A and B are shown apart, each in its own frame.
Chain A
Amino acid sequence: MPVVCSCCAQARAMLKRPKTGHSLCRECFFWAFEEEVHETIVSASLFTRGETVAIGASGGKDSTVLAHVLKVLNDRHHYGLKLLLLSVDEGITGYRDDSLETVRRNQRQYELPLKIVSYEELYGWTMDAIVKQVGLKNNCTFCGVFRRQALDRGAMMLKVDKICTGHNADDIAETVLMNVLRGDIARLRRCTAICTSGEGEGAVPRCKPLKYAYEKEIVLYAYFKRLDYFSTECIYSPNAYRGHARAFLKDLEAVRPSAIMDVIHSGENLSVREGVRMPVQGTCNRCGYISSQALCKSCMLLEGLNRGLPRLGIGKHHRLHGKILAQQPLTLDEERKLKAVDF
């Protein structure tokens, strides 16, 4: 008993959109998906005519769909943007090298220039080497922090005006849940912003055009359009905290698909009670990158790696920032706590 598309009422419906509950045929789905991204871009004024925009490309489903849709919309609606692909090589054998092959294919398929920056060249450490020192519990902290900065550095090398990433609605809802679970009020306020302000030295504004696109729809879009993407889980990620938020969110979605949008909506509309202490945005004393502490997270983590103190940067060490900046030696007790590693 085939269902007819609720949009064109002609073709057979091929999927049921979780976002709206509508049953759509392939062509109407493509159109709806693309035009919703267009609506997101226009209503948030994400781009200005003539800008050069770097698309953070990992070869995965989100960034591949992002690159494809941006190219389509740039042509269809005459955004006048210069698009290019920016990739980060974290140095994860068997995962990243394979997905970078996919990005190279994307470069040829979409005819966009590509730049790859690596942790090795930027920091002197690959993720493989970091995991050997740090273990499998906190390694994602390093990777996330380093990757953010790597994207900015790559963007500055390319002199782009903006970066955009493929974060989808599920990702943002997961982040909201994670920040609630961790009681991180500062991040909770910032994490639903569709665009970062890009103030401070070394920070390029970055935005998320797929913010309201459901992950399921991204996968179906890529499947029906036969887009080439790479898909396995990062080998170092099984213990990441996000996994818990993701499992919970997926169960919520199964009960009520609008839950994803609802969580984002709640995150967007949070207001903080007066008198709650919030971190103040400044710059890192060492590298000038945006930071709310004397030393930015990236510098802290690198310092820890280079000195064989893997727990430096995991948890709060405000008191130690001053010592490290002044290059004073740490006490034996301080060092012992920073060395302890949970494998």
Chain B
Amino acid sequence: MGALGFMSYFLVSFSRGGAELLFAGVRNHQVTLPSQSQPWTMKQLLVWIRANLLKERPELFLQGDTVRPGILVLINDADWELMGELSYLLQDQDNVVFISTLHGG
């Protein structure tokens, strides 16, 4: 049900892994998304991140509709593959973490 006049906010963070470099080195972002009639999906969040947070080289973070293969997404510390991936409906105060695996070990 669409919430009237309340803004949902989420914590979006980029775990050490290099991903934060694409976001001006800032690891933790408290994000407030404008309210809309339908709940925000992860897919929409990615579009929003690209427009508002991503500072450079979008192709290193996104590929098509989704994240680049090799970037893991956790929602409230759980694998987003268990939550429906792009179609997951964001809830107020959700914590989304992106971890890049694409670096030396």
Contacts and interface: CB of A to CB of B under 8 A. Distances in A.
Contacts of B102: 233, 246
B99 to A, nearest CB: 6
Main secondary structure of the interface of A (DSSP, over half): mixed
Given A231-B17, A233-B18, A250-B69, A60 B105 contact: yes
A319 B1 CA distance: 77
Interface string B33-72: 0000000000000000000000000000000000011101
Contacts of B101: 61, 215-216, 218-219
A232 B79 contact: no
Nearest to B16: A231
A15 interface: yes
A175 interface: no
A218 B105 contact: yes
A253 B69 contact: yes
Nearest to A228: B16
Q: Chain B CB within 10 Å — which of A167, A219, A250 has the most?
A: A219
A219 to B, nearest CB: 5
A219 B72 contact: yes
B52 to A, nearest CB: 24
Give the contact-size bracket for chain A: 35 or more
A70 to B, nearest CB: 14
Interface residues of B, number: 22
Contacts of B17: 219, 231
Interface in B58-105: 68-70, 72, 74, 77-79, 81-82, 99-105
B72 A220 contact: yes
B18 A232 contact: yes
Interface of B: 15-18, 21, 68-70, 72, 74, 77-79, 81-82, 99-105
Given A12-B78, A23-B82, 18 more contacts: A3-B82, A15-B82, A16-B79, A60-B105, A63-B105, A216-B72, A219-B72, A220-B72, A220-B79, A231-B17, A231-B18, A232-B18, A232-B21, A233-B18, A233-B102, A233-B103, A237-B104, A250-B70
Interface of A: 2-3, 12-16, 23, 58, 60-63, 166-168, 171, 215-216, 218-220, 223-224, 229-234, 237, 246, 250-251, 253-254
7 contacts: A13-B78, A14-B79, A23-B82, A61-B103, A166-B105, A219-B17, A224-B77
